[in-house]
Amino acid sequence: MNEKILVIEDDSSIHNLLDITLTHHDYDVLKSKTLKEGVALFTLHRPALVLLDLGLPDGDGLDFIQMVRTIDATPIVVISARGQDKSKIQALDMGADDYLTKPFSTGELLARIRVSLRHQQRMSNLTEESILKVKELEIDIEKHIVKVQDELIKLTPIEFKLLTHLARHAGKVLVHRELIKEVWGEFYQENHSLRVFMANLRRKIERDPSNPQYILTEIGIGYKMSDE
Amino acid sequence: MIKSPHVFVFIMFALATLIGFLLDLIGVQEANLIMVYILAVIIIAIYTHSYRVMIYSPFVVVALFNFFFTEPRYTFSTEDNQYPFTFAMMFLITIISTSMTIRFKNQIELNELLVEEKQAIQLRAHTEQLRATILKSISHDVRTPLMSISGTLETALINKKLSDSTRDTLLSGAYEDSLWMIRMIENILAVTKIQDERLTINADIESVDDIVVDVIRRFDKHRKNRHVLTEIPERVLMVRGDPNLIVQVLMNLLENAVKHAKEGGDIVLSVKAEADEVVFSVEDDGPGVSSLDLPHMFELFYTGHGDGSRGLGLGLAICKSILEAHDSQLTYSTSRFQGAKFTFKLALIEEAANE
């Protein structure tokens, strides 16, 4: 059975484009142009993923994220206009998985959808794996061992914590604040050292740190472990 | 700070009286004691903003002087018939000096206001001018790619019998044009953003790594068949700036480089530390900037001589204004491949201690 994707977007052309592209790639598309209809379709059909435009005529897309997150962890990919970093961060903070900035290519869209669906599947396998694998990166959580292409990598405890958190959420954009909270705790304010740790981590696990295969930068927003 | 002006007045007069007593003890004449009180009144006028204080001060001064320093002391009566005249003069001098001080103070405040207003007007005029020029260029230069896109789509819609290859050629042309428009509109938005937020650039501390990673990933679909090589130092460097705008500068420089580099040629994006600065540069293996274009290349809407490619002449001008907003500047030199090299520097932020 095809996976259902709920598209909540009020602009007709983009709406049609998404519909045609997704149908062509064997997804079942549920369409909505308003927040209200979106909520109804969501509760009725329980789609595998939601594509959500933040600026809707009858309300704020952020409310939708909040509503969904009280029910379950259905992946939500936010569609937003350029320059709305604040609302992007807010959406990710509230539980959105990823975002696409208009204008985006359909290739980009399909890749994000694949990654988010995979992430969802991994998270629903509730058994906490003791070995995390992302492409050729292998993390043995119990033994504190990290390998890339079977080569042992020496990491500091903080680097290990960061890498594990990223790998566990591969495909999801993690905002700076969330990563800082995870590693240094709730009350740590400064996010300058996070950047330094990430850069050092990249130097250890990436073949080319300026064109990374694992840790991607979402500039001004956060980081994402790529598994494609 | 003292909250009530009246407390301040009390302290000043108490101080003046005390000094008066000290001067009196060492035999200074009472006429000079008056000066001490007048000085106190002027100080009060400078540091308080209360008109009530200004009005009662002269009375208090005369009363205090009369009470403490005229014979018979510690009474409000006087022996010498010269005193009423002294009091009147003292009263007048106090009033005049107080009102002069107030006027002087108001004048200064007014001047400051005027200067601020003038600056605001100048900034507004500058912004307006830039907006007008951008609008003009949009109406003028954006029509071409828009025409190509809408024309192509119309043709594809109407002509059902187009061969696949013709359709592909048409559509890929329109696609290229749309990509070009997206990049250009981003540039225009960047300019308006700088104009709006001239004083509050969205600055954050970012690592050079994050900036380069983001640029390389975003630029991938624009690089055509050119090779983009990166050189970043072993040491993690941090800079302060608006990350999106710095990425924009590098994207524009890379796009320029693609335009001028040889087919399948090399472009190098390199970053290095030099003393307390981080030096970013983009080099290509093209012909370099001709001497004709050198003096004008950073001007808005300058498109260069014999440059067949389409462009608004926005790219470099936008780089320049973004960098100016970061207290930096764009410089040109000859690259290692004898092509063009654009360089800018940002202040190096000392990195946090590792763990």
**B59-94 pLDDT tens trace:** 888 888 888 888 788 888 777 777 788 888 888 888
Chain A residues within 8 A of B236 when measuring between CB atoms: 195-196, 199-200, 203
- Under an 8 Å CB criterion, which residues of A touch B? 82-83, 85, 103, 105, 156, 158, 190-193, 195-200, 202-203, 208-212, 216-220
Distances (CA, A) of B278 to A34, B251, B257: 48, 18, 21
Residue B273 at interface with chain A, using a CB cutoff of 8 Å: no
Say whether pLDDT at B194 is over 80.
Answer: no
Distance between CA atoms of B53 and B44, rounded to whole angstroms?
Answer: 8
Measure the N-to-C terminal CA separation of chain A; round to a whole number of Å: 23
CA-nearest of A173, A198, A215 to A76 is A173
| Contact by Cβ (8 Å): B208, B237 | yes
CA–CA min distance A70, chain B (Å): 33
Q: Which residues contact B191 (CB under 8 A, 6 or more apart)?
A: B130, B134, B314, B318, B321
N-term to C-term CA, chain B: 43
Count of CA atoms in the C-beta half-sphere (13 A) of A97: 29
Interface residue B146 vs chain A (CB under 8 A): no
Would you say A54 and A61 are in contact if contact means Cβ atoms under 8 Å apart? yes
Locate B203 and state its tokens. 């600055």
Q: What percent of chain A has pLDDT over 70?
A: 96
User: CA of B177 to nearest chain A CA: how many angstroms apart?
Assistant: 14
**How far off is chain B from A195, nearest CA to CA, in Å?**
6
Nearest CA to A196 out of B350, B40, B231, B287 is that of B350
CB distance A165 to A174 below 8 Å: yes
> Is the Cβ–Cβ distance between B230 and A206 less than 8 Å?
no
Sort strands B331-334 and A137-140 into parallel, antiparallel or unpaired: unpaired
The number of beta carbons lying within 10 Å of the beta carbon of residue B156 is: 15
Task: Report all structural domains of chain B as residue ranges with CATH numbers, in order of start.
Answer: 5-110 (no CATH), 142-196 (no CATH), 204-349 (3.30.565.10)
Average pLDDT in chain B: 82
The shortest CB-CB distance from A212 to any of B213, B236, B238 is to B213
pLDDT at B1: 47
Long-range contacts of A20-25 (CB under 8 A, 24+ apart): A21/A106, A21/A109, A21/A110, A22/A113, A25/A110
- Please state which of the four CATH numbers 1.10.10.10, 3.40.30.10, 3.40.50.300, 1.10.3720.10 is assigned to the domain occupying A131-225: 1.10.10.10
Q: What is the pLDDT of residues B117-160, one digit of tens each?
A: 887 777 677 666 666 666 666 666 677 788 888 888 888 888 88
Does B181 score more than 50 pLDDT?
A: yes
DSSP A188: -
CB-closest option in B186, B211, B352 to A219: B211
What lies within 8 Å, CB to CB, of A210 at 6+ separation is B209, B212, B213, B216, B230, B232
Would you list the domain boundaries of chain A?
4-124, 131-225
**Distance of residue B251 Cα from the nearest chain A Cα, in angstroms:** 14
Q: How far apart are CA B85 and CA B90, in angstroms?
A: 8
Angle between the B5-25 and B30-47 helix axes, to the nearest 10 degrees? Answer: 160
Residue of B nearest to A208 (CA): B230
Rounded mean pLDDT, A196-200? 92
- Which residues on A lie below 8 Å from B217 (Cβ)? 211, 216-217
Query: For testing the chain A interface, which of B171, B220, B236, B269 should be mutated: the one with the most A CBs within 10 Å?
Result: B236
Of A200-209, B10-19, B106-115, B117-126, least confident by mean pLDDT is B117-126
Say whether the peptide bond before residue A103 is cis (omega within 30 degrees of 0).
yes
Name the residue of chain A whose CA is nearest to B219's CA.
Answer: A211
What pLDDT is recorded for position B355? 39
Nearest to A219 among B182, B210, B230 (CB): B210
Local structure of residue A3 (DSSP, 8 states): P
Q: How far is B236 from chain A (nearest CA, A)?
A: 6
Q: How confident is the model at residue B201 (pLDDT cuts 50, 70, 90)?
A: low
A212: closest CA among A192, A228, A196, A193?
Answer: A228
> How does residue A140 score in pLDDT terms, banded at 50, 70 and 90?
very high
For A191, the 3-state DSSP assignment is coil
**Residue B186 and residue A82: Cβ atoms within 8 Å?**
yes
Higher pLDDT, B37 or B299: B37
* Residue A88 pLDDT: 87
Dihedral through CA B24, CA B28, CA B30, CA B33, nearest 10? -80
Yes or no: say if B187 and B314 are a contact pair by the CB < 8 Å rule: yes
Query: What ipTM describes this predicted complex?
Result: 0.82
Mean pLDDT, residues B216-233: 89
A177-181, B32-36, B202-206: range with lowest mean pLDDT: B202-206
The confidence score (pLDDT) of residue A83 equals 62
Residue of A nearest to B235 (CA): A200
Side by side, the strands of the sheet bearing A4-8 are A28-32, A4-8, A49-53, A76-81, A98-102
pLDDT at B61: 84
Return the CATH class of domain A4-124: alpha beta
Question: Which of the four pLDDT bands, split at 50, 70 and 90, describes residue A137?
Answer: very high
Q: Which residues of B touch A217 (CB under 8 A)?
A: 209-210, 213-214, 217
Chain CA centroid to CA B319, Å: 16
Interface contact flag, B236 A83, Cβ < 8 Å: no
Flag if A195 and B216 touch (Cβ within 8 Å): no
Could you write out the DSSP letters of every residue in A136-150?
Answer: TEEEETTTTEEEETT
* Six-digit token string for A167: 């790998």
Is residue A6 within 8 A of residue A47, CB to CB? The reply is yes
Distance from CA of B145 to the nearest CA of A (A): 16
**β-sheet bridge partners, residue A131:** A140
Residues pairing with B283 in the sheet: B268, B341
**Chain A partners within 8 Å of B193 (Cβ):** 83
Instruction: Give DSSP secondary structure letters for B174-230.
Output: HHHHHHHHHHHHHHHHHHHHHHHTTT----EEEEHHHHHHHHHHHHGGG-TT-EEEE
